[in-house]
Amino acid sequence: MALLPILHFPDPRLRTPARPVAEVTEEIRRLAADMFETMYHAPGIGLAATQVNVQQRVIVVDVSHDKDQPICLVNPEILGTEGEEEMEEGCLSVPGVFETVRRAEKIRVRYLSLDGEETMIDADGLLAVCIQHEIDHLDGRLFVDYLSTLKRDRIRRKLEKAHAEVL
Ligand code: GNR
Ligand code: NI
């Protein structure tokens, strides 16, 4: 297992759309294990392969209190949504920034499990928000894209400054 470095906004690599996984192989299972380790270490409740500079459609999530309900979704697809809700979001790729985003309240998602089995999950609450946030990453979208240009530019400048200081 390995901790993977996480890319930070406005890194252009976060804008690369991920390609579908052709087959769930040992390599994908190894990637998922490293992503879980990286997510729990951060700590975070979700992580998309895009954030660790892997352009494949793989996400990991665990919104449980005891961090004992890991779910890996390969090639996740939202089949349907219901309702709307707002939640304050953060992102490991946009450290220190928390803003309210409106998303679907309930979603039905089809994906491949790490056994390569086609699987369906109905999610609401934090899990629904997290899965939508992660699928956005796979499509090169970040939660700051839902904010005003003014807010996003302020966040970009703040993170660019923070990044310049560590170089
Ligand atoms: O750790 C995370 N917390 C979070 C809180 C509210 C909405 C979404 C998230 S996902 C985030 C981890 C992350 O950046 N995943 O891409
Ligand atoms: Ni994120």
Active-site residues: which are they? 134
pTM of the model: 0.98
Nearest CA to ligand 1 atom 1: 44
Q: How many CA atoms lie within 13 A of 139 on its CB side?
A: 13
Q: How much distance in Å is there from the Cα of 67 to the middle of ligand 1?
A: 14
Is pLDDT above 90 for 76?
Answer: yes
b/e per residue, 62-76, with b = 16+ CB within 10 A? bbeeeeeebbbbbbb
CA dist 164 to 11, 62, 158, 167, Å? 13, 32, 10, 5
pLDDT (tens digit per residue) in 118-141? 999 999 999 999 999 999 999 999
18 closest CA partner among 31, 2, 36: 31
The three-class DSSP label of residue 73 is strand
pLDDT at 133: 99
pLDDT tens-digit series, residues 2-55: 999 999 999 999 999 999 999 999 999 999 999 999 999 999 999 999 999 999
> What's the gap in Å between 133 CA and the centre of ligand 1?
7
If one residue of 91, 102, 107, 146 were mutated to test the ligand 1 pocket, choosing by the most ligand atoms within 8 A of its CB, it would be: 91
Residue pLDDT, tens place only, 97-116: 999 999 999 999 999 999 99
